[in-house]
Amino acid sequence: MTLSIVPKKLINIRSLQYKDLEAIKALASRYIDQNISQRLAIIDRDIMDVASWYGLRKFLNILPYTLKESRRIFVAEVEQQILGLIQVSPFNSTGSTWKVERLIIVDNLPQLEISLLRKEIGSQLLRYCLENIWEARTWILEADIHDKNHLAIYRESGFQPLAQLTYWQLAWEIIEKLSQETSDLPNNLSPISNADASLLYQLDCVSLPPLLRQIFDRNIRDFRSTVVEKTFSRIRQWIDKNEVVQGYIFEPQRKAAIGYFQLESRYGESCSHQAKLTVNPAYTWLYPELLVQMAQIAHKHSLKINNEAKPSLELISADYQPEREEFLNELGASPTENTLLMSRSVWHKIRESKPLSLDGLQLSGVLQGLQPSRTPIPSRISWLKLIAEKYNSPSKYDFFRSQSIEPNSNSEHDSEEGSQSRENGHHA
pLDDT of 3 > 50? The answer is no
Cα–Cα distance, 46 to 31 (Å, whole number): 13
What pLDDT, on a 0 to 100 scale, did the predictor assign at position 235?
Answer: 80
Of 3-7, 279-283, 349-353, least confident by mean pLDDT is: 3-7
Taking Cα atoms as reference points, which of 72, 70, 104, 58 lies closest to residue 85? 104
Cα–Cα distance, 363 to 372 (Å, whole number): 16
Relative to beta strand 242-251, strand 189-190 is antiparallel
Cα–Cα distance, 276 to 315 (Å, whole number): 7
What pLDDT, on a 0 to 100 scale, did the predictor assign at position 404?
Answer: 45
**Domain spans of the chain, in order of start:** 8-158, 166-345
Cα–Cα distance, 54 to 17 (Å, whole number): 9
What pLDDT, on a 0 to 100 scale, did the predictor assign at position 28?
Answer: 80
What pLDDT, on a 0 to 100 scale, did the predictor assign at position 408?
Answer: 47
What pLDDT, on a 0 to 100 scale, did the predictor assign at position 261?
Answer: 93
Query: Is the pTM here over 0.85, yes or no?
Result: no
What pLDDT, on a 0 to 100 scale, did the predictor assign at position 428?
Answer: 40
pLDDT of 48 > 80? The answer is no
pLDDT confidence bin for 427, thresholds 50/70/90: very low
Cβ-proximal residues to 234 (8 Å cutoff; 6+ apart), any chain: none
Cα–Cα distance, 407 to 400 (Å, whole number): 16
Average pLDDT over residues 222-246: 83
For the chain, give the percent of residues with pLDDT over 70.
68
- The more confident residue out of 237 and 208 is 208
Distances (CA, A) of 347 to 60, 131, 214, 336: 30, 10, 16, 36
Mean pLDDT over the full length of the chain: 78
Fold adopted by 8-158: Aminopeptidase (3.40.630)
pLDDT confidence bin for 222, thresholds 50/70/90: very high
Q: What pLDDT digit, counting tens, does each position of 353-371 carry? A: 555 555 555 555 555 656 6
pLDDT of 151 > 50? The answer is yes
Q: What pLDDT digit, counting tens, does each position of 267-283 carry? A: 765 678 889 999 999 99
Instruction: Kindly tell me the burial class for residue 112, based on how many C-beta atoms sit within 10 Å of its own C-beta (0-12, 13-18, 19 or more).
Output: buried
Neighbour order of strands in the sheet with 138-144: 11-15, 72-78, 81-90, 97-105, 138-144, 334-345, 160-170, 313-318, 272-279, 256-266, 242-251, 189-190
**CATH code that applies to domain 166-345:** 3.40.630.30
pLDDT of 412 > 50? The answer is no
What pLDDT, on a 0 to 100 scale, did the predictor assign at position 115?
Answer: 61
Cα–Cα distance, 281 to 203 (Å, whole number): 10
Determine the 3-state secondary structure of 125 from DSSP: helix
Cα–Cα distance, 105 to 121 (Å, whole number): 7
- Tell me how crowded residue 7 is: count the other CB atoms within 10 A of its CB: 8
pLDDT of 198 > 90? The answer is yes
For the chain, give the percent of residues with pLDDT over 90.
38
What pLDDT, on a 0 to 100 scale, did the predictor assign at position 316?
Answer: 94
pLDDT of 144 > 70? The answer is yes
Taking Cα atoms as reference points, which of 226, 282, 218 lies closest to residue 249? 282
- The more confident residue out of 398 and 236 is 236
Q: What pLDDT digit, counting tens, does each position of 107-136 carry? A: 766 555 566 777 889 999 999 999 999 889
Q: Which of 32-41, 60-69, 74-83 has the highest mean pLDDT?
A: 74-83
Relative to beta strand 97-105, strand 81-90 is antiparallel
- Tell me how crowded residue 33 is: count the other CB atoms within 10 A of its CB: 8
pLDDT confidence bin for 25, thresholds 50/70/90: confident
Instruction: Kindly tell me the burial class for residue 390, based on how many C-beta atoms sit within 10 Å of its own C-beta (0-12, 13-18, 19 or more).
Output: exposed
pLDDT of 85 > 80? The answer is yes
Of 129-133, 184-188, 259-263, 362-366, least confident by mean pLDDT is: 362-366
pLDDT of 169 > 60? The answer is yes
